Amino acid sequence: MTLVQLRHFVALAESGSYVQAAKAVFLTQPALTRSIQSLEDELGGQLFNRLGRRITLTPLGAEVLQRAQRLVSDAEALKQTGKELHAGLSGTLRMGLSSGPGALLSTPLMLHMAQHHPRLHIDISRGNTTVLLAALRDQKLDAAIVDIRSMRPSSDLQTTHTFELQAGFLARPDHPLTQTGRPATLAELMAYPIASTPLSDEVARMLMARYGPQANPDDLVTLRCDETMSIVDVARRSNAVVLTVVAVAADLVRLDVTPALDATARFGLVTLSRQQAAPALRIVREQLPKWVVAMAGVV
């Protein structure tokens, strides 16, 4: 079999139509049919069920598709690497950023690319961890920086460049709770709206262990939103208290709470473990530690 045959097979499997697949790979339909039949002969079985104009994958076809997509993707990555060696860094980097990383890293990432790699296309997708990891598995993203406490262990994902940032209850500098001269109790916090992004089970257990069952996020959090900067803005403009990473809001103050909330948010760079990384991802890997140091200085 050849890489060309695998490209033909992937195109047909993804389009579900000989007409569309033939156009996508710039072949006539008879030529595409011969290519698929040759591949089936070599693999020893049918890859598609043919029902009139409709086609569906056979069990063999479904198994072959996963491997073929990986081989085709790796081949494209190698081809792109070769081009970059001759023409300088170019192409597209598709990054996913969950709520906290999105608030903290979107601007530094785009600013660095604009200043140092103007020919590189950077596409940033925002969403919760579950949505971004699904997009990564579907190869719609090259990598994602997400809340790794919300991830389930999985052999197909690889996490590197993990980092932690201080988190806490934040409020306006003139919030009533900043005027008492003493740490606030959870009951005093709960007298005000509490805003947060969706919290992982691990964080929920930590809060309940520290403050009791009333700290269950289902009861504690009254304003929940996937977008960190939206809940921070609410805290700026009202008496709401926001539970988030300290670095996202330098103009808010961290409330002293009793018992003390010694908490961190834990993030990491996630890629597919069996897929060659996008070449431009090395830029993120090089710069991320520097950005983290800068963010950690906001306390």
Q: Is the dihedral of CA 151, 153, 156, 160 positive or negative?
A: positive
CB-based contact 24:35 (threshold 8 Å):
no
Delineate the domains of the chain, giving CATH numbers in brackets: 3-85 (1.10.10.10), 89-163+267-296 (3.40.190.10), 166-264 (3.40.190.10)
Note the pLDDT tens digit of each residue in 7-33. Answer: 999 999 999 888 899 999 999 999 999
Helix (H) or strand (E) holding 296: helix 281-296
pLDDT tier at 54 (50, 70, 90 boundaries)? Answer: confident
% of the chain with per-residue pLDDT over 90: 73
**pLDDT score for 98:** 94
Q: Is the pLDDT of residue 50 over 70?
A: yes
**pLDDT score for 83:** 64
Comparing 296 with 85, which gets the higher pLDDT?
296
**pLDDT score for 119:** 81
| Contacts for 222 with CB less than 8 Å, ≥ 6 apart | 193, 194, 195
**pLDDT score for 174:** 96
pLDDT tier at 282 (50, 70, 90 boundaries)? Answer: confident
Q: Which residues pair with 230 in a beta bridge?
A: none
- Tell the burial category of 10 from Cβ atoms under 10 Å away from its Cβ (0-12, 13-18, 19+): buried
Residues 93-110: what's their mean pLDDT? Answer: 94
E-assigned strand segments in the chain? 48-51, 54-57, 91-97, 120-126, 143-147, 157-171, 194-196, 223-224, 241-245, 253-254, 263-272
Phi, psi of 9 (to 5 degrees): -65, -45
Comparing 54 with 211, which gets the higher pLDDT?
211
pLDDT tier at 87 (50, 70, 90 boundaries)? Answer: very low
Q: Is the pLDDT of residue 280 over 90?
A: no
Buried b (16+ CB within 10 A) or exposed e, 111-128: ebbeeebeebebeebbbe
% of the chain with per-residue pLDDT over 70: 95
> Which two tokens mark 182?
């003493």
Helix (H, G, I), strand (E, B) or coil at 1: coil
Q: Is the pLDDT of residue 89 over 50?
A: yes
Note the pLDDT tens digit of each residue in 161-215. Answer: 999 999 999 999 999 999 999 999 999 999 999 999 999 899 999 999 999 999 9
Q: Is the pLDDT of residue 288 over 90?
A: yes
Q: Against a cut of 0.85, is the pTM above it?
A: no
**pLDDT score for 88:** 37
Note the pLDDT tens digit of each residue in 228-240. Answer: 999 999 999 999 9
- Tell the burial category of 181 from Cβ atoms under 10 Å away from its Cβ (0-12, 13-18, 19+): exposed
Q: Is the pLDDT of residue 86 over 60?
A: no
